[in-house]
Structure 1
Amino acid sequence: MRRGLLAEFETPEAMLLAIAELRSRGYRRLDAFTPYPIHGIDEALGLRRSPLNWIILPFALAGTAGGYLVQWFCNAFDYPLIVGGRPAHAALAFIPITFEMMVLSASLTGFVVLLVLARLPELWHPVFDVPGFERASIDRFWVGIDARDPALISPLTERDLTDLGAITVAWAGKNGKERS
């Protein structure tokens, strides 16, 4: 949400009720800003499950295969040492490094993909200019409606949010009430 309408609520219950009511009225581009995780907010906002695990899976498998192949190449193909009758290709001996390569590749890929999907780092956002928004990290709960939401009609939505119990209703974004 780069531009849109923000509403401040005192309690998480009031915020969840407002989100449910807004979704029943046809608003779909909603966001929530809370000081701590709220149970049920994902369902209330209609969020889908993150695609992160399916994006990371191929990289984890590639790391696993790469770790195994490096060990096989070094021990069984390029420089085999036949000592004590042990086989050069000992699959069970390769398991710890193979597992560690899977964990390493998955964690590094997950970190990078998370930053890309979340569009981070973002040092400034238009909602930071809304008076009182700093309390979103302390004790207030905010609901945001994106300016691109087709159901957003400025005076009606502001009145609806106030009727739903919002303490403050303010616009975020550099152009204020202009819609894209």
Structure 2
Amino acid sequence: MAEQHLHAVLAEFRDGEALVAAARAVRAQGFGPLDAFTPFPVEGLAEALGLGDRKVPVAMLAGGMAGAAAGFLMQVATNLDYPLRIGGRPLIAVPSFLLITFETMVLGAVLAGIATLFLANRLPKLHHPVFGADGFDLGGDDRFYLAIFAGPRFDRDAAGKALAALKPRAIVDVPETVS
């Protein structure tokens, strides 16, 4: 028999401004981790949720540098192993290596960015328990949701009271089925 555990507490708000204000208030009270679900981008929501993670840009910089170095060194090694002396060009001709170096830099940055994005978001995750919450299927058009995820020191009553003080349209418990 499957046992039900609480995954999150989900609150529905009337508009994006109310959602941003609620996210700031709940975060200031020390609840977290938080997430928001909106039908369109809401300005200021990322800052209100505290999403200042810089993993993807740093990974893309490192991947770009590694890709550029690999592309340049690959061309140097190839020209040293198979020297072709044509028209007085030196074996290590940096200007002629720049095109491939740039392309491998872009390739390395893109692959590192995509891999980091997938790892940071724990993807692919084919089902999220929030998707099964009552009324969440209507959220694609005009609903704004704030989720407080349950953690090791999560207090359901305190989270419910904090959300109720913000006057949401509804508060829903999101269960997580554990087999």
TM-score category, normalised to shorter length: 0.7 to 0.9
Matched with 2:38 is 34
Cα distance change of structure 1 residues 115 and 57 upon mapping to structure 2, 3 Å threshold: same
CA distance in 1, matches of 2:154, 2:126: 30
Matched with 1:72 is 76
Question: Is 1:124–2:127 an aligned residue pair?
Answer: yes
- Give the drift of 1:10: 1.6
- Give the drift of 1:159: 4.1
Matched with 2:169 is 167
1:158 alignment partner AA: G
Matched with 2:3 is none
Unaligned runs of 5+ in 1: 176-180
Cα distance change of structure 1 residues 25 and 117 upon mapping to structure 2, 3 Å threshold: closer
2:27 alignment partner AA: R
Matched with 1:50 is 54
Partner residue of 1:9 out of 10, 13, 16: 13
Unaligned runs of 5+ in 2: 1-5
TM-score normalised per structure 2: 0.86
The alignment-based identity, stated in percent, is 40
Cα distance change of structure 1 residues 135 and 82 upon mapping to structure 2, 3 Å threshold: same
CA distance in 2, matches of 1:25, 1:36: 26
Structure ranking higher in strand proportion: 2
- Give the drift of 1:31: 1.4
1:58 alignment partner AA: A
Question: Is 1:139–2:147 an aligned residue pair?
Answer: no
SS at match of 2:139: helix
CA distance in 2, matches of 1:159, 1:39: 26
CA RMSD, Structure 1 to Structure 2 (Å): 2.0
Partner residue of 1:84 out of 87, 93, 104: 87
CA distance in 2, matches of 1:147, 1:138: 27
- Asked if 1 retains the 8 angstrom alpha-carbon contact of 2:63 and 2:109, the reply is yes
Cα distance change of structure 1 residues 136 and 30 upon mapping to structure 2, 3 Å threshold: same
Larger mean Cα displacement after TM superposition, 31-40 or 80-89: 80-89
Matched with 2:108 is 105
Cα distance change of structure 1 residues 167 and 22 upon mapping to structure 2, 3 Å threshold: same
1:49 alignment partner AA: D
- Give the drift of 1:149: 7.0
Cα distance change of structure 1 residues 63 and 171 upon mapping to structure 2, 3 Å threshold: same
TM-score normalised per structure 1: 0.85
- Asked if 2 retains the 8 angstrom alpha-carbon contact of 1:26 and 1:151, the reply is no
